[in-house]
């Protein structure tokens, strides 16, 4: 066992693969938060009056709130006045007309990350709205989407071009006063993605956005709003990596999904932000509010997430199953290595009749990682024949880590069927022995077993993401044999 631990130590020390800083002039506002900063952000983005008022309302409410303490995570207090709330690459001022005009340094960054920006036209099928810090720098495949009638682009553009749509839906799923971090986001968000899929349209390609935190000391506050109108379908992919940095960076995003009658939204995430070094120094604080509203009958929202990065993850992608026969799904793999902490899960709020939800959560903890599943399944009084199935499994690697489960199940209807199952175990010696005996190295065996453990979730990911996710998992857990 001691020898094995040593091996773990050596292998886990693999440096963060995507750790580098791109040197770009940024237009950054001095750290601090007050109403003037919010006015400045709103002004810089040329926002209409109502949006500024909306932000200020959120800010005033935020001042009255306190940071939540219930999550199973520990961190130093965050000084919200030492964060800069706005940062944009300068080259944006003129605005690139096509890929050639994009700052080559940015393109280089993306190339390093393996984002197929250059090859996109050939690769057809993925439209990337790349958010570099807070402002979109390049959006492609606009024409093809426009042809289908799909509106997809940065949030700022949407505010300019489709203010009515934004105004109609913004904050209707996650209200400004929802929680501490959502209120903060509402006050200071700088950009994000907006997508509207009109009635009866099946979005012709997978939509994806790569978020990347770059400018030092800049909390990034993304706002994403996706609306699937009646009978439409959209699959949205979100992936992220961040450069190595010593100070903790705060990320408090809000994602709102709205599915109207017969619509379906599939939202996939691969999150690989900088998790801090092996001593728990640095890393991203990822405090995200994600919620989907199955507003219409027969609507369906699926969340799939692979969380391998961030020092602290605090995230509960949820579904409000308002429409009759609506379906909510949550598939998650969360990995915590070194001193990473994750408190993640979902909420399934059953309101409509014959609503169904499925929760599959796989948590992997290695070394000092702390991994918690926290979920709520609520069957309302009128939610006849509601059905929920929950399964959360934890895999422990190393004797210093922790795996926790906090499921809340509230049932107020006698026709409801709710099932919850959870298990915790380590990779069994038998399984390892079986593989070793057949000439598979220990490293490969662990990889194989872990991938098998997560298969149910990976299967839900779109192809490109599934490959990336498996690779990520391998890198994150290199050598962490229990």
Partner 1 sequence: MNGTAIHHYLAEYHRREASNNTPWLQEQGLAALEKFRNNGLPTTRQENWKYTDIGALARTGFITADARHNTIEHHRLDAVRIKGLDCYELIFINGQFSPTHTRLEGLPAGVMVESLGRSLPNPSATVREHLNRYADNDNYAFTALNTAFLTDGTLLVIPANAVIEKPVNLLYISNRQDQTLVSHPRNLVILGANSRATLIESYIGLDKAEYFTNTVTEILAGEGASLEHYKIQQESERSFHIGSTHVTQQKDSRYVSHSISLGGALVRNDITATLGGNGSETILNGLYMAGDRQHVDNHTLVNHLQPNTRSEEYYRGVLDGHARGVFNGKIIVHKNAQKTDARQSNANLLLSDNAEVDTKPELEIYANDVKCSHGATVGQLDENMLFYLRSRAIDEETARSLLTYAFADDVIRRITLQPVRDRLEYSVIGRLPDASLIREFV
Residues that bind partner 1 in the complex, under the rule CB under 8 A: 70, 379, 381, 394, 396-426, 482
Strand-strand pairing, 254-259 and 264-272: unpaired
Q: Which is nearer to partner 1, 216 or 358 (CB)?
A: 358
Q: How far is the CB of 100 from partner 1 (least distance, A)?
A: 53
- For partner 1, give the closer residue by CB, 28 or 431: 431
Sign of the torsion formed by the C-alpha atoms of 78, 81, 83 and 86: positive
CA–CA separation, 209 and 343 (whole Å): 24
Q: Which is nearer to partner 1, 202 or 412 (CB)?
A: 412
CB-wise, 290 or 367, nearer to partner 1?
Answer: 367
Distance (Å, whole) CA 440 – CA 429: 14
Closer to partner 1 by CB, 163 or 402: give it.
402
Residues 419 and 386 sit within 8 Å (Cβ to Cβ): no
C-beta of 25 vs 399, nearer to partner 1:
399
CA dist., res. 125 & res. 204, Å (int): 8
Concatenating the DSSP letter of every residue in 384-423 gives: TT-EEEEEEEEEEESTT-EEEEEEEEEE--TT-EEEEEEE
Q: Which of 364, 323, 320 is nearest to 344 (CA)?
A: 364
Question: Measured from the CB of residue 280, what is the shortest distance to partner 1 in angstroms?
Answer: 17
| Cβ 375 to partner 1 shortest distance, Å | 10
Beta strands in 140-263 (DSSP E): 151-154, 193-197, 206-212, 223-228, 233-241, 249-251, 254-259
Cα distance between residue 332 and residue 315, in whole Å: 11
**Pick 66 or 414: Cβ nearer partner 1:** 414
Which residues, other chains included, contact 181 with Cβ-Cβ below 8 Å and sequence gap of 6+? 252, 287, 288, 289, 314
By residue count, the chain amounts to: 482
List all residues 6 or more positions away from 421 whose beta carbon is below 8 Å from its beta carbon. Answer: 390, 391, 392
CB of residue 334 to partner 1, shortest distance in Å:
15
Cα(132)–Cα(218) distance, integer angstroms: 12
3-state secondary structure of 453: helix
Percent helix, strand, coil in the chain, to 5, is 25, 35, 40
Least spacing, CB of residue 294 vs partner 1, in Å: 21
Judged by beta carbon, residue 216 or residue 411, the one nearer partner 1 is: 411
CB of 178 to partner 1, least distance (A): 19
Minimum CB distance to partner 1 smaller for 11 or for 165: 11
Q: How far is the CB of 476 from partner 1 (least distance, A)?
A: 17
Alpha helices in 119-248 (DSSP H): 120-123, 142-148, 155-161, 163-169, 180-188
Whichever of 111 and 422 has its CB closer to partner 1, that residue is 422
CB of 381 to partner 1, least distance (A): 7
Q: Which burial class, exposed, middle or buried, applies to 422 when counting CB atoms under 10 A from its CB (0-12, 13-18, 19+)?
A: middle
Least distance between partner 1 and beta carbon 347 (Å): 14
Q: Nearer to partner 1 by C-beta: 276 or 398?
A: 398
Write the Ramachandran bin of 43: left for phi over 0, alpha for psi from -120 to 50, otherwise beta: alpha
Based on CB atoms, which residue is closest to partner 1, 240 or 416?
A: 416
Q: What is the closest distance, in whole angstroms, from the C-beta atom of residue 65 to partner 1 in the complex?
A: 16
Residue 161 CB coordination number (10 Å): 12
Minimum Å gap between C-beta 436 and partner 1 is 19
Cβ 69 to partner 1 shortest distance, Å: 11
Measured distance CA(387)–CA(415) in Å, rounded: 9
């Amino acid at each position: 066992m001691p020898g094995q631990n040593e091996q773990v130590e050596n292998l886990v020390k693999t440096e963060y693969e995507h750790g580098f800083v791109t040197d770009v002039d940024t237009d950054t506002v001095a750290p601090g938060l007050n109403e003037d900063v919010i006015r400045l952000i709103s002004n810089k983005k040329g926002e209409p009056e109502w949006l500024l008022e909306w932000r200020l309302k959120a800010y005033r409410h935020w001042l009255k709130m306190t940071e939540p303490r219930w999550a199973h995570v520990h961190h130093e207090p965050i000084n919200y006045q030492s964060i800069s709330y706005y940062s944009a690459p300068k080259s944006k001022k003129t605005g690139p007309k096509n890929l050639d005009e994009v700052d080559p340094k940015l393109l280089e960054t993306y190339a390093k990350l393996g984002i197929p920006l250059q090859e996109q036209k050939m690769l057809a099928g993925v439209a990337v709205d790349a958010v570099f810090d807070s402002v979109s720098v390049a959006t492609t495949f606009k024409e093809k989407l426009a042809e289908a009638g799909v509106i997809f682009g940065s949030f700022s553009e949407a505010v300019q071009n489709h203010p009515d749509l934004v105004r109609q839906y913004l904050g209707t799923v996650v209200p400004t006063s929802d929680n501490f971090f959502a209120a903060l986001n509402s006050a200071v968000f700088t950009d994000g993605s907006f997508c509207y899929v009109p009635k009866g349209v099946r979005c012709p390609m997978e939509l994806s956005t790569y978020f990347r935190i770059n400018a030092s000391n800049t909390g990034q506050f993304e706002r994403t709003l996706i609306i699937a109108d009646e009978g439409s379908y959209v699959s949205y992919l979100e992936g992220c990596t961040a450069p190595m940095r010593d100070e903790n960076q705060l990320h408090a995003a809000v994602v709102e999904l709205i599915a109207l009658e017969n619509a379906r939204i599939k939202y996939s995430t691969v999150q690989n932000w900088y998790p801090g070094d092996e001593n728990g120094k640095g890393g991203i604080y990822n405090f995200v509010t994600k919620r989907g509203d199955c507003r219409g009958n027969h609507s369906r929202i699926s969340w799939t997430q692979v969380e391998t990065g961030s020092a602290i993850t605090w995230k509960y992608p949820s579904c409000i199953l308002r429409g009759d026969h609506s379906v909510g799904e949550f598939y998650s793999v969360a990995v915590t290595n070194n001193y990473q902490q994750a408190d993640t899960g979902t909420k399934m709020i059953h309101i409509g009749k014959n609503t169904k939800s499925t929760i599959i959560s796989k948590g992997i903890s290695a070394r000092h990682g702390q991994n918690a599943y926290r979920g709520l399944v609520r069957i309302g009084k009128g939610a006849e024949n509601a059905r929920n199935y929950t399964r959360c499994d934890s895999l422990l690697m190393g004797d210093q880590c922790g795996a926790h489960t906090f499921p809340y199940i509230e049932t107020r209807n006698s026709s409801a069927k709710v099932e919850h199952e959870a298990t915790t175990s380590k990779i069994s010696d038998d399984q390892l022995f079986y593989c070793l005996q057949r000439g598979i190295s220990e490293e490969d065996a662990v990889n194989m077993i872990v991938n098998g453990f997560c298969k149910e979730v990976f299967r839900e990911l779109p192809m490109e993401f599934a490959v990336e996710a498996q690779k990520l998992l391998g890198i994150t857990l290199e050598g962490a044999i229990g």
